[in-house]
């Protein structure tokens, strides 16, 4: 199974960076569409839109709809839950009638678990008790399947950050990480938010983050020839677990 992950597209309806960020997403979509063998699934780990307007989500949907494989997504801190759900809930494989951007769906025998870490009041993540209770509802479905979780904020501390834990309350992140660790066949946790690649592992929970697709916001060090090239992550489910690798986007068309 091959999964393509994108994150932190930060689309804008207008403004100086709007055309560039849309072009970055277009290049990522073109690259995914050209993969051989084809990806089985695409996951967007949040910050889809920068101002969470209906027009920004419409731009995202127009691009993602060009893909022939299913697309799953959840919210980041720049997203707004109601606007995200209006744009994505009930479409593709994302269930309808959601109150949170949190759900579980089965794709090719693997349970994909979307986790909603959005705090409406600040950029850090949150995961109060009611969300943990909602997560239990989804975990009760297809409990014996291997599970790949995805969310925006990394649930584990990232050592190289000035603020390693990107959650407002460490106790909430710890409770979520502990619950994830008890999933019998957890393959990993995919995240975004920090705009750079990183990994962390704790008590059997393996976390990876990826660079922002919006390269004007990307952090970290990259080869000079990749300075303006969107980089997505490809995750391959192998007999010995999940293997992750960066994948540079294809060159932009000459008329871009």
The answer to whether the CB of 9 falls within 8 A of the CB of 21 is yes
Contacts of 39 (CB under 8 A, 6+ apart): 2, 3, 4, 32, 69, 234
Rounded-to-integer distance, Cα 193 and Cα 78, Å: 10
**pLDDT(86) > 90:** yes
Which tens digit of pLDDT belongs to each residue from 141-153? 989 999 999 999 9
The answer to whether the CB of 148 falls within 8 A of the CB of 184 is no
CA dihedral 65, 231, 46, 242 (to 10 degrees): 100
Band of pLDDT at residue 15, cut at 50, 70 and 90: confident
Band of pLDDT at residue 14, cut at 50, 70 and 90: very high
Contacts of 121 (CB under 8 A, 6+ apart): none
CATH number of 2-248: 3.60.21.10
Taking residue 53's Cβ as centre, other Cβ atoms within 10 Å add up to 16
Predicted confidence at residue 254, as pLDDT, reads 58
Percentage of the chain beyond pLDDT 90 is 95
Which tens digit of pLDDT belongs to each residue from 125-142? 999 999 999 999 999 998
**pLDDT(50) > 90:** yes
Predicted confidence at residue 253, as pLDDT, reads 62
Band of pLDDT at residue 255, cut at 50, 70 and 90: low
Instruction: Report, as an integer, the average pLDDT of 231-244.
Output: 97
Band of pLDDT at residue 250, cut at 50, 70 and 90: confident
Domain boundaries along the sequence of the chain: 2-248
49: its two tokens: 């839109």
Predicted confidence at residue 168, as pLDDT, reads 97
- Coil, strand or helix: which one is 44? strand
Backbone angles phi, psi at 58, to 5 degrees: -65, -40
Q: Which of 27-36, 177-186, 247-256 has the lowest mean pLDDT?
A: 247-256
**pLDDT(196) > 80:** yes
**pLDDT(252) > 90:** no
CA dihedral 100, 102, 174, 233 (to 10 degrees): -130
pTM: 0.96
């Amino acid at each position: 199974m091959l999964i393509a992950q994108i994150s932190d597209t930060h689309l804008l309806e207008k403004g100086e960076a709007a055309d560039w960020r849309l072009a970055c997403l277009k290049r990522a979509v073109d690259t995914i569409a050209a993969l051989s063998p084809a990806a089985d699934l695409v996951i967007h780990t949040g910050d889809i839109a920068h101002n969470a307007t209906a027009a920004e989500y419409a731009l995202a949907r127009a691009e993602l709809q060009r893909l022939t494989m299913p697309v799953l997504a959840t919210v980041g801190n720049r997203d707004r839950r109601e606007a995200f759900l209006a744009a994505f809930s009930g479409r593709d494989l994302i269930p309808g009638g959601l109150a949170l951007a949190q759900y579980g769906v089965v794709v090719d025998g693997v349970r994909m678990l979307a986790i909603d870490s959005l705090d409406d009041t600040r950029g850090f993540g949150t995961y109060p008790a009611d969300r943990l209770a909602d997560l239990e509802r989804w975990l009760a479905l297809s409990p014996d399947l291997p599970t790949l979780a995805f969310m925006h904020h990394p649930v584990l501390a990232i050592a190289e950050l000035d603020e390693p834990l990107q959650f407002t309350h460490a106790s909430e992140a710890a409770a979520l990480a502990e619950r994830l660790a008890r999933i019998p066949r957890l393959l990993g946790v995919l995240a975004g938010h920090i705009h750079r690649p990183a990994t962390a592992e704790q008590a059997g929970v393996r976390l990876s983050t990826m660079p922002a697709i919006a390269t004007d916001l990307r952090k970290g060090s990259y080869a000079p020839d990749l300075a303006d090239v969107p980089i997505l992550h490809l995750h391959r489910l192998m007999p010995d677990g999940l293997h992750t690798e960066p994948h540079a986007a294809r060159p932009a068309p000459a008329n871009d």
